[in-house]
Amino acid sequence: MLATSGIIAITWSYVSVLADIATVTGWRVPFLIIVVLAGALGATVGIVGRARSAFVLTVGLLLVGLIVYIYTLSQAQQQLLTAQRLLADTAALFTGLSILRFVRAGAWAIAVVPAPVFLSWALLSAGRYVLSAAAGGVALGLVILTGDASLITALTGVVGFLVTVAAATVNQYDGGIDQFDTIIVLLSVIIVLSTSVSAVPGSGNSPLVPEKTPQTVDASLTSADQRIEVLGSIDLSPQVRFTVESSRPSYWRTGAYNRYTGDGWVRTGEAQPYRGQLSSPPGSSQPVQQTITTQQPISILPAAWKPIRIEGSAASQATVTTQGGLVPRTSLNANTEYTVTSRLPLWTPAQLRRAGTAYPAEIDETYREVPADTSDRVTQRTNQIIANASADTVYDASIAIERYLEENKQYSLSVSKPDGNTAESFLFEMDAGYCVYYASTMAVMLRTQGIPTRFVTGYTPGERIDSNTHVVRGLNSHAWVEVYFPDAGWVRFDPTPATERQSVEGLRLSEARQQDTDGVDLNESTPTPTPSPGDTASENGASGANTAATPASTGQSQTTPEGGAADNGSTGSTIQTPGIGGRAPDSLGASSSSSVSFIEQILPAVRIRRLLAAIAIGLIGVGAAMRQSDSIRHLRALLIAQSQWLTSTQQRTGVFSGLLSSSENGRESKPDPDSAVAYAHKRAMAVLAYTHRPRRPGETSRTYRDALSLSADHETALQQIEQAYERSKYGDGVSASTAATAVTAADFLIRTGTPFRRHIARFRSTKLLDDNKE
């Protein structure tokens, strides 16, 4: 039962992580079926077969699973699976590559999980407890190293491992498990390091104690390269990040994410080195150049969609994501200048309505995925909204969802992060949120209709300081949605209410200027009024006659031809993304639109549960490392022995008072003397365990006393205690005077055996001699 409970804990740990991945990618039901079958088959083989057979079958299961996984990939993806790429991906898994970034993560989870489940349960049934724990531990270690396992999950697996090893000890090694201490220590070190080192900020690898600054929108992550986590309340940073010189203002795009996890977004695939000109968007497009100058170190390459060429010092650091965006290998220094040439798509609403749904296979497979645990009510609400708008095309359905969110949700930076599916919570349970909530919800709603959608981050145009130059601040960071249309490519939609957003950002900027906050303005920028909406109305390059869709209701944003809200870019909205790395924290207080608790003011970003879990795991490792060490036994004995003097006076006073009272009253008081002797013996054994060694099981009192080589007075005291103890335990009890002698002897051993009491005794002796001399 002990071994089974441990294996259950280990299996649950790694299976729950892979199950979450399968759920996110829509493979939950087949995954759970395969886990149950693998466990049942393993238990059966363990009972009727041999361990060698289980190992052979495990290898076969793993090979079959990997072949099936490769078969699920598209032909283009299969062509990329070279031996070098497979080795690189395997190495990346052990250095922090999240499984969620795999193109077919759900299929990969199904391919991998049968092998460890089968082997661990086969070995458990065969009575090979340690090997069973090791088989599950390998799988657990993998999901820990990838950063996909939470602290509680990892801790559960470690405890399960220890429980299983304990069962093996009782069954096979009679308590001797020295050879497993190293394994326990290494596993603990792996877990603690994986929770302390930040490989993907905002994921399971986030630092335990981030910077003690308010959670500003763009500073909430130090790198926006792979993953985004939905947060609760956030603040705005008014500091300038970069400037853009361009003939056309735009949304300065920094990243796109295709996999929704329920509480965040992940970009699948690996970025490739930039090797020259990139492909243009489908259909007609117009070139536009932007020259970006960084004002602070940043780890992003903002550019208008769709970038096709980058020039300048940043070009050598540029990589191209699978979504066609640009990201740098390392952070760019302040005052770095680079130029991006983009092709702005040219389309009209009429063209988008005629685009149809003949999506390329890669688009169809990658951008329509929703978590399997998304409830039907999301689909039903989306169907209702589309039906009420009489939307019979993808474009009209997108406009209907965009306007619904604009008109029915309030914009606020002060929200509590919901449990579970963020998009579903925002749609049904929340009254307000900021751009991350709006964009996530719209993307999921459209995906329930089979419409390819992705979550996009970047900056709104910023503050225009002349005809071609815009100043972009941290509060311009934003998130929106892109919808794919055949023959047109990715089209932007922005469901966040522009008027409310700009009002909050304008208030924050004015507040910062009144407080003379550093880095808010450049020499050329001044507190100018918000530019007119016409600045970006024709961002796609279409003629004026074809650039405006039907305006939204009063107080809401006006939809641009790209589906996005018309944005002059005075001050953009809030996201959790564009990474600002390697810079000094903003010296900001909480904005007027956010609430910060007392605890958050003291430790604003400390993840308490995570920290406590990491400490617990670390202590397990330290305990395993020191379990066989003499120093740990020595320390334990010292603490036990040293603590005796705290109660010795009270005990002796109580015993003598009881004895005296009993003698005066002439009553029998055997329980009191016997208890006093038992306690005296316990105290004596504790101090001798510290000063010499503990008494071994089966060792007689005489043998133990002789082995200690005690001084004459210590041996006499111990003999008095042992004689009284034996008479009390095995005879008719002891008298009051015998008990008093045993208590006095125990006090003598403690007084002369423990450091603190010994020092006190010496001090008193010295003082007594000085008094006598006087």
pLDDT at 711: 87
Distance of CA 182 to the CA centre of its chain: 26
Nearest C-alpha neighbor of 378 from the set 313, 442, 333, 330: 442
User: Does residue 530 sit within a domain?
Assistant: no
Mean pLDDT throughout 41-58?
A: 83
User: Does residue 275 sit within a domain?
Assistant: no
Residue 488 has pLDDT above 60, yes or no: yes
Indicate the angle between helix axes 608-626 and 181-196, nearest 10 degrees. Answer: 160
pLDDT at 481: 96
Q: Bridge-partner residues for 482, per DSSP?
A: 454, 492
Does 84 or 560 have the greater pLDDT score? 84
Place of tokens 């749609």: 427
Four-residue CA torsion sign, 161, 166, 169, 172? negative
Length reported for the chain:
774
Residue 449 has pLDDT above 50, yes or no: yes
Mean pLDDT throughout 477-488?
A: 93
pLDDT at 221: 35
pLDDT at 288: 94
Range scoring the smallest mean pLDDT among 34-48, 90-104, 455-469: 90-104
Q: Give the burial class of 680: count Cβ atoms within 10 A of its Cβ; 0-12 exposed, 13-18 middle, 19 or more buried.
A: buried
Cα 602–605–608 angle (5° rounding)? Answer: 85
Reported as type and span, the H/E element at residue 97 is none
Mean pLDDT throughout 453-458?
A: 93
Same domain, yes or no, for 548 and 638?
no
Answer for the pair 510, 416: CB distance below 8 angstroms, yes or no. Answer: no
Answer for the pair 447, 424: CB distance below 8 angstroms, yes or no. Answer: no
Range scoring the smallest mean pLDDT among 114-118, 625-629, 686-690: 625-629
Residue 57 has pLDDT above 60, yes or no: yes
Among the candidates 162, 196, 230, a domain finishes at 196
410-411 and 432-433 beta bridge pairing: parallel
Among the candidates 136, 165, 196, a domain finishes at 196
Residue 724 belongs to domain with CATH number: 1.20.120
Q: Give the burial class of 281: count Cβ atoms within 10 A of its Cβ; 0-12 exposed, 13-18 middle, 19 or more buried.
A: buried
Answer for the pair 314, 330: CB distance below 8 angstroms, yes or no. Answer: no
- 303 φ/ψ angles, rounded to the nearest 5 degrees: -165, 150
The 3-state DSSP class for residue 70 equals helix
Residue 770 has pLDDT above 50, yes or no: no
How does pLDDT run across 680-703, given as a tens digit for each residue?
888 888 888 777 888 888 888 888
pLDDT at 179: 47
User: What 8-state DSSP symbol labels residue 173?
Assistant: I
In this prediction, residue 639 has a pLDDT band, given cuts at 50, 70 and 90, of low
Place of tokens 């909050």: 504
HEC secondary structure over 668-691: CCCHHHHHHHHHHHHHHHHHHHHH
What percent of the chain has a predicted confidence (pLDDT) above 70? Answer: 67
Same domain, yes or no, for 690 and 582?
no
Give the alpha-carbon dihedral of 183, 186, 188, 190, to 10 degrees: -140
pLDDT at 165: 76
Mean pLDDT throughout 166-180?
A: 55
Residue 583 has pLDDT above 90, yes or no: no
How does pLDDT run across 196-229, given as a tens digit for each residue?
543 333 333 333 333 333 465 564 433 556 888 8
Residue 47 has pLDDT above 50, yes or no: yes
Which of 72-76, 120-124, 181-185 ranks highest by mean pLDDT? 120-124
User: Does residue 295 sit within a domain?
Assistant: no
In this prediction, residue 643 has a pLDDT band, given cuts at 50, 70 and 90, of low
How does pLDDT run across 701-714, given as a tens digit for each residue?
888 888 888 888 88
Range scoring the smallest mean pLDDT among 46-60, 190-204, 606-620, 640-654: 190-204
User: Does residue 763 sit within a domain?
Assistant: yes
Same domain, yes or no, for 574 and 673?
no
User: Does residue 561 sit within a domain?
Assistant: yes
pLDDT at 70: 80
Same domain, yes or no, for 655 and 718?
yes
Same domain, yes or no, for 94 and 40?
yes
From CA 747, how far away is CA 749, in angstroms rounded? 6
In this prediction, residue 268 has a pLDDT band, given cuts at 50, 70 and 90, of confident
User: Does residue 55 sit within a domain?
Assistant: yes
Q: Bridge-partner residues for 479, per DSSP?
A: 457
Residues in CB range of 608: below 8 A, 6 or more apart: none
Residue 766 has pLDDT above 50, yes or no: no
Among the candidates 584, 602, 620, a domain finishes at 602
Answer for the pair 745, 683: CB distance below 8 angstroms, yes or no. Answer: no
In this prediction, residue 306 has a pLDDT band, given cuts at 50, 70 and 90, of very high
Mean pLDDT of the residues in the chain:
76
Task: List C-alpha distances in Å: 657 to 654, 663, 724, 737.
Answer: 5, 10, 19, 12
Same domain, yes or no, for 177 and 243?
no
User: Does residue 494 sit within a domain?
Assistant: yes
Structural domain for 713, as ranges = 630-773
Same domain, yes or no, for 180 and 238?
no
Residues in CB range of 147: below 8 A, 6 or more apart: 96, 98, 194, 199, 200, 203, 204, 205
pLDDT at 576: 34
CB atoms within 10 A of CB 759: 10
Residues in CB range of 507: below 8 A, 6 or more apart: 592, 593
In this prediction, residue 301 has a pLDDT band, given cuts at 50, 70 and 90, of very high
pLDDT at 597: 44
How does pLDDT run across 662-678, given as a tens digit for each residue?
444 444 444 578 888 88
Mean pLDDT throughout 487-498?
A: 94
In this prediction, residue 442 has a pLDDT band, given cuts at 50, 70 and 90, of very high
Residues in CB range of 476: below 8 A, 6 or more apart: 241, 459, 460, 461, 462, 505, 569, 571, 572, 573
Task: List C-alpha distances in Å: 340 to 245, 325, 347.
Answer: 11, 12, 22
Same domain, yes or no, for 251 and 379?
yes
How does pLDDT run across 402-423, given as a tens digit for each residue?
999 999 999 999 998 888 899 9
Number of domains in the chain: 3
Mean pLDDT throughout 461-466?
A: 90
Mean pLDDT throughout 450-460?
A: 94
In the structure encoding, which two tokens stand for residue 107, read together?
A: 């299929």
Reported as type and span, the H/E element at residue 190 is helix 181-196
Task: List C-alpha distances in Å: 765 to 551, 716, 751.
Answer: 95, 22, 12
Q: What is the pTM of this model?
A: 0.66
Mean pLDDT throughout 579-600?
A: 36
Answer for the pair 248, 595: CB distance below 8 angstroms, yes or no. Answer: no
pLDDT at 102: 79
Residue 231 has pLDDT above 70, yes or no: yes
Same domain, yes or no, for 189 and 242?
no
pLDDT at 13: 92
Mean pLDDT throughout 540-545?
A: 36
In this prediction, residue 453 has a pLDDT band, given cuts at 50, 70 and 90, of very high
Nearest C-alpha neighbor of 436 from the set 444, 428, 75, 738: 444
User: Does residue 260 sit within a domain?
Assistant: yes
Alpha-helical segments (H) within 418-497: 422-428, 435-447
Same domain, yes or no, for 582 and 637?
no
Q: Bridge-partner residues for 360, per DSSP?
A: none
Same domain, yes or no, for 634 and 584?
no
Answer for the pair 422, 439: CB distance below 8 angstroms, yes or no. Answer: no
Same domain, yes or no, for 591 and 505?
yes
